[in-house]
Amino acid sequence: MVLDMIHFAPSILSADFTQLQKDIDDVQKGGADYLHFDVMDGMFVPAISFGMPVLKCVAGKTELFLDVHLMIVEPERYIEEFIKDGANLVTVHLETLKEPEKVIKQIHALGAKAGLAINPETPAERIRPYLSMIDMALVMCVHPGFGEQAYLSSSDEKIAQIASWIREEDLHVDLEVDGGIKMENVERIAALGANVIVAGSAVFKGDVEENTREFIGKIK
């Protein structure tokens, strides 16, 4: 049972890239233990974000656990490179995979943890068969592609459902939530059973260190 350990994962998608080192130092000082890294390819999602060169720089400068969320088609083509460049955990989208089990094994064989994500329109049941093979399930709480969107209330049921499967089957799987998490709803969402909490726009606005501390105060 891993769900008792809470991790906070600021998404650097909303960071100020002209002062990325400072933003990362601030979330670390505020108590974050993960750093969420949103890779977008303009194919699986409309936007393009960043990739290996940024990850490589960040990995060389921080001790934070690097949680890499691949919103890209054919992620199996790039997994090895992301792990080589410092990813501790690689999350791929179930919607992009023809052979999910094979890709999960590929991530593990390369020495990283494996996460599997589902979009808002993908039913929770689709991820269930893979829960015993992965280290983390990721429930997208917005349509992926952009920061600063509103939390979709339909995510509540999915989070609670997956958390109950993890509990009932005593699985060693973390449950991550991503998208629309704010100071006002984080407590309620964590109480549904999520234990890895991603937040982007709500962290990297104003006092980053203080925002991080306040988030963590609400969930730990």
**Binding footprint of ligand DX5 on the chain (CB under 6 A):** 11, 13-14, 36, 38, 69, 142, 144-149, 178-181, 198-202
Q: What is the nearest approach in angstroms of ligand DX5 to the Cβ of residue 95?
A: 13
Selected from 26, 38, 174, 209, the binder of Zn ion by CB under 5 A is: 38
Distance CA 17, CA 20 (A): 5
Interaction residues for Zn ion, span 111-150 (CB under 5 A): none
- Look-up of token digits 């100071």: 183
Minimum separation from the CB atom of position 167 to ligand DX5 (A):
25
Q: Which is nearer to Zn ion, 14 or 211 (CB)?
A: 14
Residue with Cβ nearer ligand DX5 (171 or 204): 204
List 26, 174, 176, 178, residue binding Zn ion (CB under 5 A): 178
Task: Judge whether 94 and 134 are in contact, CB under 8 Å.
Answer: no
* Ordered strands of the 196-199 beta sheet: 7-10, 196-199, 174-178, 136-140, 113-118, 89-93, 65-71, 34-40
Q: How far apart are CA 73 and CA 89, in angstroms?
A: 18
Which residue's Cβ has the minimum distance to ligand DX5? Answer: 200
145: left (phi over 0), alpha (psi -120 to 50) or beta: left
- Which residues have CB under 8 Å from 129's CB, separation 6+? none
Strand, coil or helix: 149: coil
Q: Cβ(40)–Cβ(15) under 8 Å?
A: no
- CB of 23 or CB of 178, closer to ligand DX5: 178
Q: Which stretch binds Zn ion (CB under 5 A): 36-44, 72-80, 146-154, 168-176?
A: 36-44
Residue 135 vs 171, nearer CB to ligand DX5 = 135
3-state class of 176 per DSSP? Answer: strand
Least Å from the CB of residue 69 to Zn ion: 4
How many residues in the chain? 220
- Residue 120 CB, shortest distance to ligand DX5, in Å, is 11
Choose the binding region for Zn ion from 37-45, 105-113, 128-136, 152-160 (rule: CB under 5 A).
Answer: 37-45
- Residues at the interface with Zn ion (CB under 5 A): 38, 69, 178
